[in-house]
Structure 1
Amino acid sequence: MKVELWEGDLTCLAVDALVNAANSSLLGGGGVDGAIHRAAGPELLAACRQLGGCPTGEARLTPGFRLPARYVIHTVGPVWQGGGRGEAELLAACYRNSLALAERHGLETIAFPAISCGIYGYPPEQAAAIALAELRRPRPDDSSLRQALLVAFSADMAALYRRLLDA
C-alpha cells in the first residue's frame, strides 16, 4: 500500500473511504467530525444513529452519502491524558481497525485525518509517528488496499507528515 500526503479539506477527496475522527456517540461534533457530517448531509447522522456508538480504538462503516467518498469509516481516537493511559495503543488501534474494515469491504483507497490531534489534544509529532508506523505495516497478501492518504488540514501538520514520510 502506498502512503502519501495530501494537504487540504478531507471532505473533497474522491476516495473509497474517508476516516472520520469521531466521538464515541458518532452523532457529529466539531473539527473533522463536524465537517464530514455537514458535507455528507443528514443521512449520515441517521446512519450513525443506527450504529449505537463506537468505543475508543474501534471503527464503524457507513455510506458517504453526499461526500465524493463512497464510505466513511468512523473511528474514535483517545483523548490525550499525558501518555500513560494507553493512548498510544488506542491510537494505533484506530488506524489498524480502520484499515482492516476497509479491507473487509474490498476498498482500495483510504484517507486519514490526524486522529486525536484536534480537541483531543494528542501531541502531533507522536500521533503522526504512530499513524505512519501503522500505515507502513505490511498488509496481508490479499489486501485490497492500494493507497492511504495522510490528510493535513494545516501547513504545520503537512510539514510534519512530509518530514516523517521522507525519513
Structure 2
Amino acid sequence: MQVARLSVWQGDITTLSVDAIVNAANESLLGGGGVDGAIHRAAGPELLACCRDLNGCPTGEARITPGFRLPSRWIIHTVGPVWHGALRNESALLAACYRACLALAIQNNVRSIAFPAISCGVYGFPAESAARIAVAECKAALALHAGLEKILLVAFDAKMAAILTATLFAFDDTV
C-alpha cells in the first residue's frame, strides 16, 4: 500500500509533530489573529523576539524561524494576499507563498510540512480557488523533490477540510 505524500488533516496545526508548520502571517510577522495568533501563543515569547529581528515579510515571500515551544522544529512564515476580487494578482501571490515556503523547506532539509489554508480566513481568499492553488503547488514540489516526504494541508474546520479533500481528489494523478 502506498502512503499518500499529500493529505488533508483537520485540527490545530500547532499540535502537529512535523518538521515544519507554515504560519499564515501578516507583513509585520509580529502576531495577529487566526492561525498566526495561535502559533505565536503556542510557540511562546521567543518567537516574537525572533520575528522582530526579521523586519517583516512582503506578501508572497516566506521567512523561517525555530519552532521554539511547538512540536515542530521550524515555523515557516508567509504572507498571503488579501482578496480584492482578483484585481491585484492575488492568485499568483498565493502560489508564490506556497513556492517560497516549499523552497525554504527544501533548503532546510524539511521532510514533513503542514500548511494552513493561507489567506482563507480574514484575508477573504475564496476557499475553492485557494485549495486548487495549494494542491497544485504542493503536488509540483513533491514531484520534483524526493526528500520532501509528507505535506499536510491543515483545515481548522470541517468545511475547509471538505473543500481541501474534494480538491485533492479532483486531481487525476496521485502523489
Pick the TM interval, shorter chain: over 0.9
Q: Distance in 2 between matches of 1:138 and 1:74?
A: 18
8 A Cα contact 1:26 1:48, kept in partner: yes
* 1:50 paired residue number: 53
* 1:124 paired residue number: 127
* 1:162 paired residue number: 165
Cα distance, 1:84 vs. partner? 2.0
Question: When the two structures are superposed, what TM-score results if normalisation uses the length of structure 1?
Answer: 0.97
Q: Distance in 2 between matches of 1:133 and 1:141?
A: 13
Q: CA RMSD in A?
A: 1.3
After superposition, the Cα gap between the structure-2 partners of 1:79 and 1:3, relative to the gap in structure 1 and judged at 3 Å, is same
1:80-129 CA distance string (max 9 Å, x none): 00012110000000000000000000110000000000010001011011
After superposition, the Cα gap between the structure-2 partners of 1:141 and 1:150, relative to the gap in structure 1 and judged at 3 Å, is closer
**Runs of at least 4 residues off by over 4 Å:** 138-143
Q: How does 1:1-167 map to 2 (within 5 A)?
A: 2-139=5-142, 143-167=146-170
1:29-59 CA distance string (max 9 Å, x none): 0000000000000000000001000000000
Structure 2 stretches of 5 or more lacking a match? 171-175
Q: Distance in 2 between matches of 1:86 and 1:18?
A: 25
Q: Percent identity?
A: 64
